A and B are shown apart, each in its own frame.
Chain A
Amino acid sequence: MGTEELKKTPLYGNHLKYGGRIIDFAGWALPVQFRSIIEEHHQVRRAAGLFDVSDMGELDIRGPQALELLQYALTNDMSTMAVNQVRYSPMCDQRGGVVDDLLVYRLGENRYFVVINAGNIEKDYSWVKELAGRFPGANVDNVSAQVAELALQGPNSEAILGRLTRTDLSAIRYYWCLQDVDVAGVKCMVSRTGYTGEDGFEIFCSPEEAPGLWDTLLEEGDEQGLWPCGLGCRDTLRFEATMPLYGQEMDDDTTPLEAGLGKYVKFDKGDFVGREPLLEEKRTGLRKKLAGLEMVGRGIARTGYPVLKDGGKVGYVTTGSYSPTLDRNLALAFVPPGLAEVGTEVQVEIRGRGVDARVVRTPFYRRREK
């Protein structure tokens, strides 16, 4: 496999050293697995896993109108965030389609840090820059190349990271962050966030420091079962936790309401891009709705497979997989709202045959709170 032409994160050398199987991941050379997707998946649920997510993009938005810009660009309400708080939001276009879904970190009075999907960096940056034209007091910079990001996920994450810092990590609550945390001598921003359904942290540092930090974390975390993990299990973990993936559960032709993200759309916060079409859709009803499916018959639903009712195509699968934790074949699919009720029987077309499936409750997996 030629990886010469692919973009590489600062941790590429580490992945080779740890035996990662490198694949083309939306133009990035990243490890899909180190040992096995299923073993790594279980390890994250049971102990801890370390992921390289440095391909993610980051925008720095600051200035007296930074908040105004975010309020206009995003569907969620950012006005009630405290400094060091983190908030998830879809970002829509004028039609209400999703441009991206992202995390906003409030780092100061007029300073925000926005984490965006790797495949959308250029698109998002030019979109936000365009919107910023209306807000001369907001400055937008694409700082993606200046930031590395590691995700430490799993129940042992706090204990592992705690060995490397004097900062009291228990003080960082879910969806909050701390800046200027010294982790093994490296200055980091640490947030209690993640994409696996487990407790964990996302750690941001300079690209130069990332390789050393990766090694230190794995050495220190070894006793508590910390493994390097690939993007294969990242996908199965987020899927079980029913966290949406841009490009699968949502895209430019899907609204956040359809993708089940209605609680992140705040119609009462004032004007924002996409507000009118989304309100209209709320009034007139959804065109399609994301539903969780469990395969009843033998087969694994995959992205793009048709969903059938009474022999006719009524929808399509956005993500489907074997679920290692639940040991069942599950899927997320867009169906007409009338077929999204739990218990509804449908079929998924697999290699020309309709295979029985049933709408089930989501999230598929929820961790037990401590």
Chain B
Amino acid sequence: MMYPKEFRYAKTHEWAKVEGDLARVGITNYAQEHLGDIVFVELPEVGRQVKQGEAFGVVESVKAVSDCYAPVSGEVVEINDTLADKPETLNQDPHGEGWMVVIRMSDPAELNNLMDVAAYEKHCEEEAH
């Protein structure tokens, strides 16, 4: 699977897609592959304030429980309700239909702390070894 060029990536394997002052957020293909079959997703309530690097949700595979960390700070303005009944969407389409939350960024400059696609792909290669 190709990593979208327009996304920014966190070391903890979340992606952020900037849409104006909003950031759509999910976990990367590397993360879903690493987790295996995802069977449960726990998302925050709309309105919650999150800080960059803070856990905003939980993804559970058959064998593992994994926190997801906010790539940017701000307010959660939308959550992907379909993941409650279809957690496997995260495996099937992690960069698209499997988005998790939309955050209204409080400090867009934080995006500079994230990796571009080339840096992220290198990061995954290093982690795999």
Q: Taking beta carbons and an 8 Å cutoff, which residues of A are in contact with B?
A: 32-33, 36-39, 232, 236, 298-300, 302, 321-322, 324, 329, 351
Question: Is A300 a contact of B63 with CB atoms below 8 Å?
Answer: no
SS class of chain B's interface: helix, strand, loop or mixed?
strand
Instruction: Type the 1/0 row for B35-62, where 1 means its CB is closer than 8 Å to any CB of A.
Output: 0110110100000000000000010111
C-alpha spacing A32/B61, complex, angstroms: 13
Q: Taking beta carbons and an 8 Å cutoff, which residues of B are in contact with A?
A: 36-37, 39-40, 42, 58, 60-63, 65, 84
Question: Is A321 a contact of B62 with CB atoms below 8 Å?
Answer: yes
Kindly identify which residue among A37, A39, A299, A324 contacts B40, using a CB–CB cutoff of 8 Å.
Answer: A299
Question: Is A298 a contact of B84 with CB atoms below 8 Å?
Answer: yes
| Residues from chain B with Cβ under 8 Å of A37 in the complex | 36-37, 61-63
Closest residue of A by beta carbon distance from B41? A298
Closest residue of A by beta carbon distance from B87? A322
B89 CB, min distance to chain A CBs, angstroms: 14
Question: Is A300 a contact of B84 with CB atoms below 8 Å?
Answer: no
C-alpha spacing A32/B36, complex, angstroms: 10
| Residues from chain B with Cβ under 8 Å of A322 in the complex | 39-40, 60, 62
Closest residue of B by beta carbon distance from A39? B37
C-alpha spacing A232/B62, complex, angstroms: 8
| Residues from chain A with Cβ under 8 Å of B60 in the complex | 300, 322
* 8 more CB-based (< 8 A) A-B contacts, given A38-B39, A300-B60: A32-B36, A32-B63, A232-B36, A232-B62, A236-B62, A321-B62, A322-B39, A322-B62
| Residues from chain A with Cβ under 8 Å of B62 in the complex | 37-38, 232, 236, 321-322, 324
Question: Is B39 a contact of A232 with CB atoms below 8 Å?
Answer: no
| Residues from chain A with Cβ under 8 Å of B36 in the complex | 32-33, 36-37, 232
C-alpha spacing A299/B40, complex, angstroms: 7
| Residues from chain B with Cβ under 8 Å of A232 in the complex | 36, 62-63
| Residues from chain B with Cβ under 8 Å of A324 in the complex | 62
| Residues from chain A with Cβ under 8 Å of B65 in the complex | 300, 302
C-alpha spacing A38/B60, complex, angstroms: 13
A38 in contact with B37 given A236-B62, A321-B62 (CB within 8 Å): yes
C-alpha spacing A232/B61, complex, angstroms: 11
13 residue pairs A–B, Cβ–Cβ below 8 Å: A32-B36, A32-B63, A36-B37, A37-B37, A37-B63, A232-B36, A232-B62, A299-B40, A299-B42, A300-B39, A321-B62, A322-B40, A322-B62
| Residues from chain A with Cβ under 8 Å of B39 in the complex | 38, 300, 322
Interface centre among A33, A299, A322 (most CB of B within 10 A): A322
| Residues from chain A with Cβ under 8 Å of B37 in the complex | 36-39
C-alpha spacing A33/B34, complex, angstroms: 11
Closest residue of B by beta carbon distance from A233? B62
C-alpha spacing A329/B65, complex, angstroms: 14
C-alpha spacing A291/B84, complex, angstroms: 27
| Residues from chain A with Cβ under 8 Å of B84 in the complex | 298
Closest residue of A by beta carbon distance from B62? A37
Interface centre among B37, B39, B63, B65 (most CB of A within 10 A): B37
C-alpha spacing A329/B60, complex, angstroms: 12
Closest residue of A by beta carbon distance from B84? A298
Closest residue of B by beta carbon distance from A32? B63
C-alpha spacing A130/B37, complex, angstroms: 45
